[in-house]
A and B are shown apart, each in its own frame.
Chain A
Amino acid sequence: MENETQKDNSDLILEIQNLQESLNSLVKYIDEINTFLPLPFCYINPLGIIINVNKSFVKFFEYEETEIIGNDFTILFKDSNEAVFLKKELKKINEIKGKEITVLTKNKVEKIVAITIKTKRDDEGNINGYFIAFTDITPLRKFQKSLEEKAKERTAELDKSRIALMNILEDVEKERNRAEQESNKTLAIIQNFTDGLLVFDKEGKVSLANPQTESFFKIKVQDLIGKSLSELEKIPTLNPLIQLFGREIKRISKKELQTDENLILEVSTIPLILREEKIGDLVILHDITREKNIERMKSEFVSISAHQLRTPLSAIKWSLKMLLDGDLGPINQGQKEFLEKAYASNERMIRLINDLLNVAKIEEGRFLFSPQLEDLKEIIKEQFPIFRELAQKKGLEIELIFKKDRYPWVKIDKEKISLVIQNLVENAINYTKQGKITITLDINNDNLFFSVKDTGIGIPESQKSRIFSRFFRGENAILSETEGTGLGLFIAKNIVEAHGGKIWFESKEGKGTTFYFTIPFSKELEDLIVKL
């Protein structure tokens, strides 16, 4: 019995020792887990008091175990309200997983964690406490935040860009509206313009035509749009205009075009240039029918009047001549002087009438030429004695210079060219009070080159552009010589140009003037004449 008791006791002791060993191993195991586990965790009792923490917790929160154990766990949270709420929640729920919360370390460093809470219960289901694990998501949140900030920045940038774009679009819209208004305005002007307008694009096709053009050519605008010159040429009413252009639209200035009996157009073309690039051509069709009719009627009137006047003036001229020559009996000196004055006045009147008739013919296109091969040198020589006499009467020196011995013959209307020379030389004599008149004939390339130089009153700079206009006389010319008609240079210009020549002048007021004109000659003809 005693032995049995001893055996039982020793068995019990052995069992206790085994249990102690097991417990010891378990404690060591738990201790090692506590040390090893990288996840910070703590254990709190139902009152919220921290009872236990692991090594990772100590490291994470920077508290010593002795500093933090015994504290209310809410000390760990940044937001006390959130901590209080969590404390209340703990009583109701069994588990919280991954709740994001901001905690504070001992050194008040904020860390964002996802907390996981697990309720610990005893066998009867009573709450013994809570395990709380903290997963540090600060780096994740920082990364997330930086991403969000970047996204925000990017969004802000995009927003700015959007606003800028909207502003640009708004500006563009305003500009477009303005351009549209301008375009409408321009279109309205074009539509209501009294001149016909035809716009060709750079491919030479019609891009715009106004109603006036429609009316001129009796064709619808839509039938013109997009058509090239060759296509337009096929439209009968447009044919004369296209003929004027030729193969392409060249620069034309105020060319007359009679499309039918009742329509005379003055055609001009202007190249349309945008930023130094030609973008097309503008054809302006100005209706000059009325002006032309008036001009024609005026010319007819002048022509008829002049003809009617010339006959009696001729009769007066010959009657006076007979009286002056004594064919009707002797006259005394006083009578002779009166008659001479009357004769001179009549001569001036005849000249004026002749000038007017010439102008009328020019304007009517009836200034017919009878060109024949002539030697200009001889024509000048024939006229020179009269010029010399006139010059000598005014006490002027006059010189005739032929630069060449021989000049090519030219096909000219002798009478008309004589009139040109007469007008130019007489002007030189009339408007020169003292000095010299120099008449020169030369050859320049394929032209006979005539000039008459004087030392007269000259032409004021401001009036030079109008010197070849009808009835124009320089102010200083009117003051110095009252007899001019203002038609001589107009007639001269028309005659020279009708011969294919050019006329121009150089002048300095108070110093003198030199008028030049050229008459082209044919080299082949000259060669032929020389051979014959």
Chain B
Amino acid sequence: MKNKQFDISNIFQDQNKKVKGACAKAIFNYLKAKASEDDLKKIKEKIQSYGFNINLDKISPVKMYPIGLELAIIFSLSEVLNWKEKEIKELGRNVPKLSFIVKFFIKYLISLEKGYKSSPIYWKTHFNFGILETPEINKKEKYLILVLKDFSIHPLYCKFLEGYFETMAGFILGKRDVSCNETKCVYRGDNYHEFKIQW
């Protein structure tokens, strides 16, 4: 497991890097539909074992929570449900559909250009760390590039983001056959993360 190759304890303990509770709540809602009661219980226990003693039902989508909580949830899925990168990416795909924060961002999801250009703002609305940049959009070649800098959480989270960006891109492209792949990653020796979205 990738999570075992990285020291995640720092992330779990980091109280400065925060993210809005929308994702965590959306993930939890997704799990409520997918996992059994028993698995949910195990997942909650697992999250607690990572040091997050929090009632998941009461997570507010607009409050800021330590990024470690979101990572703890993802890890618990990997541990309890044995989810791999594929399942985590699928989770990423579904979270924007259930996330309340997307509704705040609705005014940007009206066209490819507007959505693409607004994505850094959207990022900042979610995260209090990391910088999302929009260096290239090629409508002719049908792709766009997203660059994420100063963002080192865990490679599994990169998979989550791949899925997340894919759905968000689908919203602004008006298409379902959209793919997102991480072409550069800090965990592969690059200076930043780069996601290429094609349609």
Contacts and interface: CB of A to CB of B under 8 A. Distances in A.
A434 interface: no
B60 A24 contact: yes
Given A45-B110, A66-B30, A51 B62 contact: no
Contact of B170 (A43, A49, A66): A49
A71 interface: yes
A105 interface: no
Nearest to A69: B97
A43 B30 CA distance: 20
Interface stretch (B49-57, B80-88, B126-134, B171-179): B171-179
B106 interface: yes
Interface string B91-134: 00010011010110011011100000000000000000000000
A65 B97 contact: yes
A45 B60 CA distance: 25
Interface string A21-65: 001100100110000000000010111110110000000000011
A51 B94 contact: no
A128 B63 CA distance: 25
Nearest to A53: B97
A520 interface: no
Interface in B35-60: 60
A129 B110 contact: yes
A24 B58 CA distance: 11
A70 B111 contact: no
A126 interface: yes
B63 A48 contact: no
Contacts of B106: 43, 45, 51-52, 120, 128-129
Top 7 A-B pairs, shortest CB-CB distance: A47-B174, A69-B97, A66-B94, A23-B62, A24-B60, A46-B110, A128-B107
B80 to A, nearest CB: 20
Contact of A20 (B62, B97, B167): B62
Interface of B: 30, 33, 60-63, 94, 97-98, 100, 102-103, 106-107, 109-111, 167, 170-174, 176
A242 to B, nearest CB: 111
A127 B111 CA distance: 11
Contacts of A43: 106
Contact of A27 (B62, B97, B171): B62
B173 to A, nearest CB: 7
Interface of A: 20, 23-24, 27, 30-31, 43, 45-49, 51-52, 64-66, 69-72, 120, 122, 126-129
A70 B167 contact: yes
A49 B115 CA distance: 13
Nearest to A123: B107
Nearest to B110: A46
5 contacts: A20-B63, A49-B171, A52-B102, A129-B106, A129-B109
B23 to A, nearest CB: 14
Given A30-B103, A51-B171, A126-B110, 16 more contacts: A20-B63, A27-B60, A30-B100, A45-B106, A45-B172, A45-B174, A46-B110, A47-B111, A52-B106, A66-B94, A69-B98, A70-B176, A72-B174, A122-B107, A127-B110, A129-B109
B109 A70 contact: no
Contacts of A23: 62
Nearest to A129: B106
A43 B107 CA distance: 12
B100 A70 contact: no
Contacts of A49: 109, 170-171, 174
Contacts of A20: 62-63
Interface centre among A20, A52, A66, A120 (most CB of B within 10 A): A66
Contact of A65 (B98, B103, B110, B172): B98
Interface centre among B61, B106, B172 (most CB of A within 10 A): B106
A66 B98 contact: yes
Nearest to A75: B176
Contacts of B167: 70
Given A24-B62, A66-B30, A71 B94 contact: no
Contact of B176 (A71, A122, A126): A71
A35 to B, nearest CB: 12
A48 B176 CA distance: 12
A23 B106 CA distance: 16
A23 B103 CA distance: 13
A120 to B, nearest CB: 8
Contacts of A129: 106, 109-110
A48 B62 contact: no
Contacts of A128: 106-107, 110
Nearest to A68: B97
B103 A52 contact: yes
A474 to B, nearest CB: 123
Contacts of A27: 60-62, 100
B177 to A, nearest CB: 11
A191 B62 CA distance: 113
Nearest to B101: A27
Given A31-B100, A71-B176, A45 B171 contact: yes
B98 A46 contact: no
A47 B172 contact: yes
A128 B102 CA distance: 13
Contacts of A120: 106
A46 B107 contact: no
A398 B191 CA distance: 171
Nearest to A121: B107
